[in-house]
A and B are shown apart, each in its own frame.
Chain A
Amino acid sequence: MKELDIAGVTVKLDDEGYLIDSSQWNVDIAKGIATQSGLELTDKHIEVLKYLRDTFNAGETLTIRKVGKSGIVNIKEFYKLFPKGPLKLSSKCAGLPKPTSCV
């Protein structure tokens, strides 16, 4: 576990850098987490993060396919915004737990 000071708030992250208390999340914290991963967030990124949080908090499982159908980005754009593992990276920035596939 590690701590990160962002915009005057100290937040706790797990060993892989995921926010432990999801309720602490705000845009500043998102930007702080993103910086740790070498990513600079634009308004489009933030729009995706808000969609992810709303969807996750509604009890749905997040998938790349679902984000691609969100109307915010298509899958290709999602990869451009969050390179390599887009769902993992975006979940991290959105203050959500690491996505797991359930086998």
Chain B
Amino acid sequence: MKKIVILGAGTAGTMMLNKLHNILDKEEWELTIVDQYKTHYYQPGFLFIPFGIYKKQDVIKPKYDFFPSGVNVIYNKIDKIEGENNKVILDGGQVLNYDFLIIATGTQTRPEETPGLKEKLWYKDIFDFYTIEGALALHDKFKDWEGGNLVMSIAEVPFKCPVAPLEFVFLAEAYFTKKGIRDKVNITFVTPMSGAFTKPVATKMLSELMTEKNINIVSDFYIERVDNENKKLISYDEREVPFDILTIVPVNMGNDLIERSGLGDDMNFVRTDKFTLQSKDYDNIFVLGDAANIPTSKAGSVAHFAGEILTENLLSAMEGRPLNAKFDGHANCYIETGYGKGALIDFNYDTEPLPGTFPLPGIGPFGLLKNTKINHYGKVIFRWIYWHMLLKGKELPIEANMTMAGKKKQNI
């Protein structure tokens, strides 16, 4: 039997396991997946927890619900990958040999990388919503908060789900309006980037939406430290932003095992060919999802689209053929904007998010870079799609690579 080992049973790893289980000859290939945790989180749902829209039970299911029968599942921490020996060493010393390895170990938040962040105000006045614990703690805080400075800040790029902080301020605006205390809540969006988003057309649309909703933007703000005594964010160029509640996207880094295995860049993301999704160090290692250092969003949609390309290339590699499938960096993100509306962006390595319709040119039903009710329903329905189709590796009616059909070019 030849062996494929998948490291990480999050969105990317689970999806890949199901895809490969469906297509590979079970007499010939043995599939193994390794993860230290038994719970699968629907991470896009964390955003809704602070506002009481989702509860904990809406975003968790056991991982084993999504594993097909006949695969090996190992719940264990991973010590390191020995690429030159085609081996994975688990904590405790167990050794897994592989013919092909798929790394899907994701990205983790590292609040300890920012001085003053994980100190006495952590989960009292400072929160993240990228963990279930942070999202729940923030929900408790919001329940009886009477107003003040609410600051949403980003510590470092890249980070998982680049639209989530924008959605957070939009949802917060709607939440406090509904509570009747919007006039007592000053909302500020603090980013190390030069604007609300990285690409010009989307930035313009999103900045206008922020102005309309009376949300302040502080840009080019690279956080040096958090002053717990005076409740201030302080940047390297000595600017200050005061807060009463700070919600932050901490520094994101890949798993430490990537560093121990010598496969990562300085943020522990795996050095990966952005087109073939093959590791730059070993031909029989592929990388899927947030763990890769490819220059596109760290998002579930990317893992989904890239998964189709990776499958094709893995099959080629198994047969010793050249890797002809090329990933284009396709990402597709719903952006909740509050009041039952949402926006949608669709883009890749070369094409920035543009206005138009999606997925059908001229028809939609979704509007790109437009703030509509139907886009919000897209996000609502997505949770069902995620649990029932995406994780199970089923085909979705959207092409892996991005299409220009339905998009309108813009001059800014």
Contact = CB atoms under 8 A, between A and B. Distances in A.
B5 to A, nearest CB: 28
Nearest to A100: B198
A64 B198 CA distance: 16
Interface string B146-190: 000000000011100010000000000000000000000000000
A102 B198 contact: yes
Nearest to A65: B156
Nearest to A66: B266
B189 to A, nearest CB: 16
A41 interface: no
Count class of interface residues, chain A = 10 to 19
A42 to B, nearest CB: 19
B236 A103 contact: no
B265 interface: yes
Interface stretch (A5-13, A20-28, A29-37, A79-87): A79-87
B192 to A, nearest CB: 8
Interface residues of B, number: 25
A83 B222 CA distance: 12
A100 B156 CA distance: 14
B295 interface: yes
A62 B237 CA distance: 19
B198 A75 contact: no
A101 B222 contact: no
Given A65-B266, A76-B236, A101 B158 contact: yes
Contacts of B293: 61
A66 B199 CA distance: 22
A69 B198 CA distance: 24
Given A101-B198, A103-B199, 8 more contacts: A65-B267, A75-B236, A84-B237, A88-B194, A100-B198, A101-B158, A102-B198, A103-B297
Report, nearest first, the 4 A-B pairs whose CB atoms are least far apart: A102-B295, A79-B236, A101-B157, A101-B198
Interface of B: 156-158, 162, 192-194, 197-199, 220, 222, 224, 236-237, 265-267, 293, 295-297, 331, 347, 349
14 contacts: A64-B222, A66-B266, A75-B236, A76-B224, A76-B236, A88-B194, A100-B198, A101-B157, A102-B296, A102-B297, A103-B158, A103-B198, A103-B296, A103-B297
